[in-house]
Chains A and B, each alone.
Chain A
């Protein structure tokens, strides 16, 4: 049984049907990439899984339990944690406060402290800047903070919405490196990306979306060579 099972969901966004009858599954322990051009509906899917928007049709199941339309706070508590698009870090708060809030839904403060140490180990730059205001960090540091904050919630599945957006290539490698390490440590990851090639190199499996529908699904290796990728982004030649 897959950890995350999305069944035939349709999601509206701003009057448009952003996602239509989409189904996919993410196995526990795997990293799946969801790639596609802007407007393909990727963010809408993550928002539906996180409970920020209720799908107009379909079901979302996490670890067997139906979480469709549940409150976001409850979904976070069950271990589905999203790193939102644009990072959404809390600018007026410090790095340490942002991370601390990440553990809001956890019960054991001791465990939370341990996770904090792990996050600082993973992102030493954050440790250096722990008392700095989050709004003053660079784009890459903010992304690391956003990821670290999500890790503080001890996620069973980590949803990442376009972590590479607005970041310079060098920084993107660092971020993806961290994501890879998180995955190798055992966390299931669903990575939504516009940066297709890097996402495909990172993940074992990938879903290619176009205008709200699943175009192709398969192993990253096979998709890397597939012209459908180019088509999905740049149109038919």
Chain B
């Protein structure tokens, strides 16, 4: 029913409609800033309070790094502990200057994150969460076991050789500076190729992979970032509080941080900051203001926990996008008129594909089988797909057409058989590798990243062709900026040609079904693929729309693309395809030109039944 620990399926619905990541105004910035400032005013009585608030804000960003990519990591407390103790030990026992100790501690966190990330990040959502749950506890136990080094269960304090003066090295200014740096890093990342990749993974991992996005790579990046930031928070904690208690890093801490991210919303970087600000200040506010009238509130030590708990449950149930999702998306300014249908606006030429090398077929499928349990969805299919041709793939319900597409695009691995792409074996390769090799696809029932703008969806298709990683983004290297610029221009051009120019800044989920279908095709084209796999592109279209689609597909062919189209819309298939393969019961029952297939008895029988 649902995926087990090793499945990479997107279990359940995509992020809720309220969490519109695209097209925001500057208002949230300002509001967030105001709230945090108000927080500070309300809750801060001393430098220590300020430290605490700032550290919580840093932790919030740690949670954001993973939750934003839909990974529930509960290892925050563990990494915090590693950062805290490592930095404390290096400063006090080894005598390093605090800056060096800090960096070394961060390096250690990164290393540990990589080590446990490699095996653990392959697991699906809940199993990842469970394994990170355990990690925090293991760290805590390690600290107790290595008592000579760490001061053991009593913590790192005066009595265990960690005097306050040696520990206390950081004030709120340093933490605030670090926080500002982190905000900059997240802000710039969100507008970059890396940010888009993470948001794509958040929404639809399978579709992201089919756009050439390496899921493991980005999940590892997110996890390591989260670990480093949590480690930094830990180090700040050690050096601002001046002593450490083992109980500072209990699981509760991870839950609190989760609360920040959930309350504030993990769709945008400022969400968790909002959440942290509120959950830090609110209990104090309630206690002080209402505590005057409601006596028991003043002594109600559990108030912060109850608020966190309530936030988690109420927000997840009633507005899963968190507070950040409450901000309305920027209203799209209509830029140019949106054409009525595909094909009506195809002014300039689409990027031409490279001419065919030799006369060999582009894609050869041999003996391809795929079984689920004992049932063979495909049982030994042999097909050849020539370059520059529109291939139709038809057959009754359950014949195996989508399975075949899935095998070609790498969404599934075959049980047996081979898939030769331009002479190379690609059977069983990962989807992002196949996308990078030049095969793009669309999905049955459109799978867009609904909470990203239309343009960002298309830019996701550009992912594989761009090279600017996150470091290049952060350093704002000119090469990186140029690439972004060029990609944006290309994306705009593609959208214009498909009559979607006016929608570029709209959240993709707000478009009509037909428009979303076109965006999906634009996104696939952005890959500059040699081969385009289309799964029921005409579903739900009426005659006029289907005709326009057909014209567009033929246009694509003339520009040099090769197409494999799975469809039930017979008129479209017969009109547009050069060659058609017919599947039934997981096998090929006919192949040939439309005329041959239409007059084939075997095909008639497959569809209409035997007499």
Taking beta carbons and an 8 Å cutoff, which residues of A are in contact with B? 14-18, 37-39, 85-86, 135-136, 139, 162, 164-166, 168-169, 172, 193-199, 211, 229-230, 233-237
On whether the beta carbons of A16 and B609 are closer than 8 Å, the reply is no
Q: Which residue of A lies closest to B572 (CB)?
A: A235
On whether the beta carbons of B608 and A229 are closer than 8 Å, the reply is yes
On whether the beta carbons of A233 and B607 are closer than 8 Å, the reply is yes
Residue among B373, B539, B607, B609 with most chain A CB within 10 A? B609
On whether the beta carbons of B598 and A234 are closer than 8 Å, the reply is yes
When chains A and B are docked, how far (Å) is the Cα of A156 from the Cα of B569? 35
On whether the beta carbons of B542 and A211 are closer than 8 Å, the reply is yes
Taking the nearest CB of chain B, how far is it from the CB of A163, in angstroms? Answer: 12
Query: Can you offer 18 A-B residue contacts whose CB atoms are under 8 A?
Result: A14-B445, A15-B445, A15-B540, A37-B607, A39-B539, A86-B398, A139-B375, A166-B398, A169-B610, A194-B396, A196-B607, A197-B608, A198-B610, A211-B542, A230-B604, A230-B608, A233-B608, A234-B574
Taking the nearest CB of chain A, how far is it from the CB of B336, in angstroms? Answer: 25
Contact of B611 among A165, A168, A197 (CB under 8 A): A197
Q: Which residue of B lies closest to A169 (CB)?
A: B610
On whether the beta carbons of B570 and A18 are closer than 8 Å, the reply is no
**Contacting residues, chain A, for B604 (C-beta < 8 A):** 230, 234
* Per-residue interface assignment for chain B, residues 502 to 516, with 1 indicating a CB less than 8 Å from any chain A CB and 0 otherwise: 000000000001001
Q: A15-B446, A15-B513 are in contact. Are A37 and B540 (CB under 8 A)?
A: no
Q: A15-B513, A16-B540 are in contact. Are A234 and B396 (CB under 8 A)?
A: no
Taking the nearest CB of chain B, how far is it from the CB of A154, in angstroms? Answer: 29
**Contacting residues, chain B, for A211 (C-beta < 8 A):** 542
Query: Is B127 among interface residues, defined by CB-CB distance under 8 A?
Result: no
**Contacting residues, chain A, for B122 (C-beta < 8 A):** none
When chains A and B are docked, how far (Å) is the Cα of A199 from the Cα of B607? 12
Query: Is B422 among interface residues, defined by CB-CB distance under 8 A?
Result: no
Q: A15-B516, A235-B571, A236-B571 are in contact. Are A196 and B396 (CB under 8 A)?
A: no
When chains A and B are docked, how far (Å) is the Cα of A194 from the Cα of B609? 8
A-B contact count (CB 8 A): 74
Contact of A18 among B540, B542, B571 (CB under 8 A): B540
Taking the nearest CB of chain B, how far is it from the CB of A222, in angstroms? Answer: 16
When chains A and B are docked, how far (Å) is the Cα of A236 from the Cα of B446? 27
Taking the nearest CB of chain B, how far is it from the CB of A234, in angstroms? Answer: 5
Lowest 5 CB-CB distances: which A-B pairs, in order? A16-B540, A235-B570, A195-B609, A197-B609, A235-B571
* Per-residue interface assignment for chain B, residues 57 to 93, with 1 indicating a CB less than 8 Å from any chain A CB and 0 otherwise: 0000000000000000000000000000000000000
Query: Is B568 among interface residues, defined by CB-CB distance under 8 A?
Result: yes
Which residues of B in the span 554-602 have a Cβ within 8 Å of any Cβ on A? 568-571, 573-574, 585, 598
Q: A195-B609, A196-B609 are in contact. Are A162 and B570 (CB under 8 A)?
A: no
**Contacting residues, chain A, for B516 (C-beta < 8 A):** 15
Q: Which residue of B lies closest to A176 (CB)?
A: B609
Q: What is the number of residues of chain B that contact chain A, defined by CB distance less than 8 Å?
A: 29
Which residues of B in the span 511-568 have a Cβ within 8 Å of any Cβ on A? 513, 516, 536, 539-540, 542, 568
Query: Is B397 among interface residues, defined by CB-CB distance under 8 A?
Result: yes
What 15 new A-B contacts, CB under 8 Å, besides A85-B397, A165-B398?
A15-B446, A15-B516, A18-B540, A37-B568, A39-B569, A194-B397, A197-B609, A197-B610, A197-B611, A198-B609, A229-B608, A234-B607, A235-B571, A235-B573, A236-B571
Taking the nearest CB of chain B, how far is it from the CB of A216, in angstroms? Answer: 15
Q: Which residue of A lies closest to B444 (CB)?
A: A14
**Contacting residues, chain A, for B570 (C-beta < 8 A):** 37, 233-235
When chains A and B are docked, how far (Å) is the Cα of A229 from the Cα of B396? 15
**Contacting residues, chain B, for A135 (C-beta < 8 A):** 373
When chains A and B are docked, how far (Å) is the Cα of A85 from the Cα of B539? 19
When chains A and B are docked, how far (Å) is the Cα of A38 from the Cα of B610? 18
When chains A and B are docked, how far (Å) is the Cα of A237 from the Cα of B397? 22
Residue among B373, B540, B598, B610 with most chain A CB within 10 A? B540
**Contacting residues, chain A, for B373 (C-beta < 8 A):** 135
**Contacting residues, chain A, for B571 (C-beta < 8 A):** 235-236
On whether the beta carbons of A38 and B446 are closer than 8 Å, the reply is no
On whether the beta carbons of B608 and A17 are closer than 8 Å, the reply is no
When chains A and B are docked, how far (Å) is the Cα of A136 from the Cα of B373? 10
**Contacting residues, chain B, for A235 (C-beta < 8 A):** 570-571, 573-574, 598
When chains A and B are docked, how far (Å) is the Cα of A103 from the Cα of B539? 38
Residue among A18, A38, A135, A211 with most chain B CB within 10 A? A38
When chains A and B are docked, how far (Å) is the Cα of A196 from the Cα of B396? 12
Taking the nearest CB of chain A, how far is it from the CB of B566, in angstroms? Answer: 11
**Contacting residues, chain B, for A194 (C-beta < 8 A):** 396-397, 607
When chains A and B are docked, how far (Å) is the Cα of A230 from the Cα of B603? 11
Residue among A86, A164, A172, A197 with most chain B CB within 10 A? A197
**Contacting residues, chain A, for B610 (C-beta < 8 A):** 169, 197-198
**Contacting residues, chain A, for B574 (C-beta < 8 A):** 234-235
When chains A and B are docked, how far (Å) is the Cα of A162 from the Cα of B542? 24
On whether the beta carbons of B513 and A16 are closer than 8 Å, the reply is yes
**Contacting residues, chain B, for A162 (C-beta < 8 A):** 397
Taking the nearest CB of chain B, how far is it from the CB of A25, in angstroms? Answer: 25
When chains A and B are docked, how far (Å) is the Cα of A93 from the Cα of B1? 15
Q: A38-B396, A194-B396 are in contact. Are A199 and B540 (CB under 8 A)?
A: no
**Contacting residues, chain B, for A38 (C-beta < 8 A):** 396-397, 568
When chains A and B are docked, how far (Å) is the Cα of A211 from the Cα of B540? 7
Q: Which residue of B lies closest to A172 (CB)?
A: B609
Contact of B568 among A17, A39, A139 (CB under 8 A): A39
Residue among B397, B568, B570 with most chain A CB within 10 A? B397
* Per-residue interface assignment for chain B, residues 361 to 389, with 1 indicating a CB less than 8 Å from any chain A CB and 0 otherwise: 00000000000011100000000000000
When chains A and B are docked, how far (Å) is the Cα of A17 from the Cα of B545? 14
Taking the nearest CB of chain B, how far is it from the CB of A13, in angstroms? Answer: 9
When chains A and B are docked, how far (Å) is the Cα of A193 from the Cα of B397? 10
Q: Which residue of A lies closest to B400 (CB)?
A: A166
Taking the nearest CB of chain B, how far is it from the CB of A226, in angstroms? Answer: 12
Q: Which residue of A lies closest to B603 (CB)?
A: A234
On whether the beta carbons of B609 and A39 are closer than 8 Å, the reply is no
Which residues of B in the span 26-82 have a Cβ within 8 Å of any Cβ on A? none
On whether the beta carbons of B540 and A166 are closer than 8 Å, the reply is no
On whether the beta carbons of A196 and B568 are closer than 8 Å, the reply is no
When chains A and B are docked, how far (Å) is the Cα of A89 from the Cα of B608? 26
On whether the beta carbons of B608 and A39 are closer than 8 Å, the reply is no
Q: A165-B398, A197-B609 are in contact. Are A39 and B536 (CB under 8 A)?
A: yes
**Contacting residues, chain A, for B445 (C-beta < 8 A):** 14-15
Q: A37-B570, A233-B607 are in contact. Are A17 and B540 (CB under 8 A)?
A: yes
**Contacting residues, chain B, for A234 (C-beta < 8 A):** 570, 574, 598, 603-604, 607
Contact of B609 among A14, A85, A199 (CB under 8 A): A199
When chains A and B are docked, how far (Å) is the Cα of A14 from the Cα of B569? 17
Taking the nearest CB of chain B, how far is it from the CB of A116, in angstroms? Answer: 27
**Contacting residues, chain B, for A196 (C-beta < 8 A):** 607-609
